Protein backbone atom coordinates (compact mmCIF):
# COMPACT_ATOMS: atom_id res chain seq x y z
CA UNK A 1 0.00 0.00 0.00
CA UNK A 2 2.80 2.38 0.90
CA UNK A 3 4.45 1.60 -2.44
CA UNK A 4 1.26 2.65 -4.19
CA UNK A 5 1.18 6.01 -2.36
CA UNK A 6 4.88 6.56 -3.14
CA UNK A 7 4.20 5.95 -6.81
CA UNK A 8 1.37 8.50 -6.86
CA UNK A 9 3.57 10.98 -4.96
CA UNK A 10 6.22 10.70 -7.66
CA UNK A 11 3.61 11.23 -10.40
CA UNK A 12 2.23 14.28 -8.57
CA UNK A 13 5.67 15.84 -8.07
CA UNK A 14 6.53 15.29 -11.76
CA UNK A 15 3.28 17.00 -12.82
CA UNK A 16 3.99 20.01 -10.58
CA UNK A 17 7.56 20.29 -11.92
CA UNK A 18 6.32 20.14 -15.53
CA UNK A 19 3.74 22.86 -14.76
CA UNK A 20 6.37 25.14 -13.20
CA UNK A 21 8.73 24.67 -16.16
CA UNK A 22 6.00 25.59 -18.65
CA UNK A 23 5.09 28.71 -16.62
CA UNK A 24 8.73 29.76 -16.40
CA UNK A 25 9.21 29.38 -20.16
CA UNK A 26 6.08 31.42 -20.86
CA UNK A 27 7.35 34.27 -18.69
CA UNK A 28 10.94 34.25 -19.92
CA UNK A 29 9.83 33.96 -23.53
CA UNK A 30 7.81 37.17 -23.51
CA UNK A 31 9.19 40.30 -25.17
CA UNK A 32 8.26 43.76 -23.95
CA UNK A 33 9.97 45.78 -26.68
CA UNK A 34 12.73 46.88 -24.32
CA UNK A 35 15.11 43.90 -24.61
CA UNK A 36 16.68 44.83 -27.94
CA UNK A 37 16.35 48.60 -28.60
CA UNK A 38 17.43 49.97 -31.96
CA UNK A 39 21.23 50.37 -32.15
CA UNK A 40 23.06 53.22 -33.82
CA UNK A 41 26.71 52.20 -33.85
CA UNK A 42 27.55 50.89 -37.32
CA UNK A 43 26.95 51.88 -40.90
CA UNK A 44 23.89 50.61 -42.74
CA UNK A 45 23.67 50.17 -46.54
CA UNK A 46 23.17 53.33 -48.55
CA UNK A 47 19.72 54.01 -49.93
CA UNK A 48 18.06 56.56 -52.17
CA UNK A 49 16.98 59.75 -50.36
CA UNK A 50 13.28 60.25 -49.76
CA UNK A 51 11.54 62.54 -52.28
CA UNK A 52 10.50 64.82 -49.43
CA UNK A 53 14.14 65.47 -48.55
CA UNK A 54 15.29 68.59 -50.35
CA UNK A 55 19.03 68.92 -51.15
CA UNK A 56 19.37 71.78 -48.63
CA UNK A 57 18.12 69.50 -45.85
CA UNK A 58 21.44 67.66 -45.98
CA UNK A 59 23.43 70.80 -45.22
CA UNK A 60 24.83 70.96 -41.69
CA UNK A 61 23.13 73.74 -39.74
CA UNK A 62 24.28 73.00 -36.22
CA UNK A 63 26.58 75.99 -35.63
CA UNK A 64 24.65 79.26 -35.55
CA UNK A 65 21.34 77.70 -36.57
CA UNK A 66 18.17 79.65 -35.93
CA UNK A 67 16.33 78.76 -32.76
CA UNK A 68 12.67 77.88 -32.80
CA UNK A 69 10.16 78.18 -29.98
CA UNK A 70 9.71 75.00 -28.02
CA UNK A 71 6.74 72.94 -29.09
CA UNK A 72 4.68 70.72 -26.79
CA UNK A 73 5.21 66.99 -27.03
CA UNK A 74 3.40 65.48 -29.98
CA UNK A 75 0.41 63.21 -29.47
CA UNK A 76 0.86 59.47 -30.02
CA UNK A 77 1.23 58.48 -33.65
CA UNK A 78 -2.06 58.25 -35.51
CA UNK A 79 -3.43 58.37 -39.02
CA UNK A 80 -0.84 58.32 -41.84
CA UNK A 81 2.09 58.29 -39.39
CA UNK A 82 0.75 55.27 -37.54
CA UNK A 83 0.12 53.50 -40.85
CA UNK A 84 3.68 54.25 -42.01
CA UNK A 85 5.16 52.94 -38.75
CA UNK A 86 3.05 49.81 -39.15
CA UNK A 87 4.43 49.32 -42.67
CA UNK A 88 7.97 49.55 -41.30
CA UNK A 89 7.06 47.10 -38.54
CA UNK A 90 5.74 44.64 -41.14
CA UNK A 91 8.93 45.00 -43.22
CA UNK A 92 11.10 44.65 -40.12
CA UNK A 93 9.39 42.77 -37.23
CA UNK A 94 12.23 43.85 -34.91
CA UNK A 95 11.39 47.55 -35.35
CA UNK A 96 10.23 49.02 -32.06
CA UNK A 97 9.11 52.71 -32.11
CA UNK A 98 9.96 53.13 -28.42
CA UNK A 99 13.40 51.60 -28.85
CA UNK A 100 13.91 53.74 -31.95
CA UNK A 101 13.07 56.95 -30.06
CA UNK A 102 15.57 56.07 -27.31
CA UNK A 103 18.24 55.33 -29.89
CA UNK A 104 17.48 58.53 -31.79
CA UNK A 105 17.90 60.63 -28.66
CA UNK A 106 21.19 58.94 -27.80
CA UNK A 107 22.39 59.42 -31.39
CA UNK A 108 21.40 63.11 -31.27
CA UNK A 109 23.47 63.73 -28.15
CA UNK A 110 26.44 61.78 -29.53
CA UNK A 111 26.40 63.52 -32.92
CA UNK A 112 25.99 67.03 -31.51
CA UNK A 113 28.83 66.42 -29.05
CA UNK A 114 31.14 64.81 -31.61
CA UNK A 115 30.54 67.63 -34.09
CA UNK A 116 31.42 70.27 -31.49
CA UNK A 117 34.62 68.37 -30.62
CA UNK A 118 35.48 67.83 -34.29
CA UNK A 119 35.57 64.07 -33.73
CA UNK A 120 35.12 62.73 -37.28
CA UNK A 121 35.81 59.14 -36.16
CA UNK A 122 32.82 59.21 -33.83
CA UNK A 123 30.61 60.77 -36.51
CA UNK A 124 31.52 58.37 -39.34
CA UNK A 125 29.46 55.29 -38.27
CA UNK A 126 26.36 57.35 -37.46
CA UNK A 127 26.01 59.40 -40.66
CA UNK A 128 25.10 58.66 -44.26
CA UNK A 129 27.90 59.50 -46.70
CA UNK A 130 26.56 62.86 -47.89
CA UNK A 131 25.73 64.05 -44.39
CA UNK A 132 29.14 62.93 -43.14
CA UNK A 133 30.86 64.85 -45.95
CA UNK A 134 28.98 68.01 -44.93
CA UNK A 135 29.78 67.58 -41.25
CA UNK A 136 33.43 66.86 -41.96
CA UNK A 137 33.68 69.91 -44.26
CA UNK A 138 32.22 72.14 -41.54
CA UNK A 139 34.69 70.75 -39.01
CA UNK A 140 37.63 71.37 -41.37
CA UNK A 141 36.45 74.90 -42.05
CA UNK A 142 36.22 75.61 -38.34
CA UNK A 143 39.66 74.17 -37.71
CA UNK A 144 41.12 76.16 -40.60
CA UNK A 145 39.74 79.34 -39.03
CA UNK A 146 41.32 78.23 -35.73
CA UNK A 147 37.99 78.35 -33.96
CA UNK A 148 36.46 75.98 -31.44
CA UNK A 149 32.83 75.17 -30.79
CA UNK A 150 31.58 74.49 -27.29
CA UNK A 151 28.16 72.85 -27.11
CA UNK A 152 26.45 71.82 -23.90
CA UNK A 153 23.08 70.09 -24.03
CA UNK A 154 21.29 71.15 -20.87
CA UNK A 155 18.18 69.06 -21.50
CA UNK A 156 16.20 67.41 -24.27
CA UNK A 157 12.67 68.64 -23.77
CA UNK A 158 11.07 66.40 -26.37
CA UNK A 159 11.97 63.77 -28.95
CA UNK A 160 9.00 63.05 -31.23
CA UNK A 161 8.63 61.00 -34.39
CA UNK A 162 6.81 63.32 -36.81
CA UNK A 163 7.09 61.47 -40.12
CA UNK A 164 7.84 58.00 -41.44
CA UNK A 165 7.66 56.11 -44.69
CA UNK A 166 8.83 52.93 -46.37
CA UNK A 167 10.43 53.29 -49.82
CA UNK A 168 10.97 49.79 -51.13
CA UNK A 169 13.28 48.17 -48.60
CA UNK A 170 14.37 51.45 -47.03
CA UNK A 171 12.64 52.92 -43.98
CA UNK A 172 12.80 56.66 -43.29
CA UNK A 173 11.84 58.08 -39.90
CA UNK A 174 11.94 61.80 -39.10
CA UNK A 175 12.33 62.99 -35.53
CA UNK A 176 11.87 66.46 -34.06
CA UNK A 177 14.18 67.26 -31.15
CA UNK A 178 13.54 70.24 -28.89
CA UNK A 179 16.52 70.82 -26.63
CA UNK A 180 18.06 73.43 -24.38
CA UNK A 181 21.65 74.16 -25.31
CA UNK A 182 24.53 76.52 -24.71
CA UNK A 183 26.58 77.09 -27.89
CA UNK A 184 29.72 79.20 -27.96
CA UNK A 185 32.29 79.65 -30.74
CA UNK A 186 35.70 80.98 -29.72
CA UNK A 187 38.70 82.13 -31.72
CA UNK A 188 42.31 81.04 -31.24
CA UNK A 189 42.68 83.46 -28.31
CA UNK A 190 39.64 82.05 -26.55
CA UNK A 191 37.52 85.11 -27.21
CA UNK A 192 33.83 84.55 -27.93
CA UNK A 193 32.99 85.27 -31.58
CA UNK A 194 29.51 83.76 -31.57
CA UNK A 195 27.04 82.74 -28.89
CA UNK A 196 26.87 83.47 -25.17
CA UNK A 197 28.31 81.11 -22.54
CA UNK A 198 25.67 82.34 -20.08
CA UNK A 199 22.65 81.99 -22.37
CA UNK A 200 20.56 78.85 -22.66
CA UNK A 201 18.79 78.65 -26.01
CA UNK A 202 15.86 76.44 -26.97
CA UNK A 203 16.74 74.74 -30.25
CA UNK A 204 14.49 72.72 -32.54
CA UNK A 205 16.11 70.25 -34.91
CA UNK A 206 14.41 67.97 -37.44
CA UNK A 207 16.51 64.94 -38.35
CA UNK A 208 15.74 62.05 -40.70
CA UNK A 209 17.18 58.58 -40.14
CA UNK A 210 17.07 55.61 -42.52
CA UNK A 211 18.02 51.95 -42.79
CA UNK A 212 17.58 48.99 -45.11
CA UNK A 213 14.91 46.82 -43.46
CA UNK A 214 16.31 43.70 -45.13
CA UNK A 215 19.76 44.18 -43.62
CA UNK A 216 20.74 42.07 -40.63
CA UNK A 217 22.33 45.12 -39.04
CA UNK A 218 19.54 46.97 -37.16
CA UNK A 219 21.39 50.28 -37.05
CA UNK A 220 20.10 53.54 -38.49
CA UNK A 221 21.97 56.38 -40.24
CA UNK A 222 21.32 60.11 -40.11
CA UNK A 223 20.44 61.06 -43.69
CA UNK A 224 19.23 64.67 -43.36
CA UNK A 225 19.29 67.52 -40.83
CA UNK A 226 17.36 70.77 -40.66
CA UNK A 227 16.73 73.49 -38.09
CA UNK A 228 13.06 74.37 -37.79
CA UNK A 229 12.42 78.05 -38.33
- What tens digit of pLDDT does each residue of 125-174 get? 999 999 999 999 999 999 999 999 999 999 999 999 999 999 999 999 99
Mean per-residue pLDDT, 69-81 = 54
C-alpha torsion 129→52→173→63, nearest 10 = 60
Q: Which CATH architecture has domain 38-227?
A: Roll (3.10)
Q: How far apart are CA 107 and CA 104, in angstroms?
A: 5
d(CA 204, CA 52): 19
- pLDDT of 227: 73
Give the pTM.
0.69
pLDDT band at residue 108 under the 50/70/90 scheme: very high
pLDDT of residue 60: 53
Q: What pLDDT is stored for residue 7 in this prediction?
A: 53
Most confident of 20-29, 93-102, 179-188: 179-188
Mean pLDDT of the chain: 77
Amino acid sequence: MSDGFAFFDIIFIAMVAAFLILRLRSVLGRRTGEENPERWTTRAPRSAPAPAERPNDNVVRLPGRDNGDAAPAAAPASGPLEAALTQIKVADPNFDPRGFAKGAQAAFETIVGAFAQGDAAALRPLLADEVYDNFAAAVRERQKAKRTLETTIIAIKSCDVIDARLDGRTAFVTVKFVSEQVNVTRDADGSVVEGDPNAVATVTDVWTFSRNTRARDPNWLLTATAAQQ
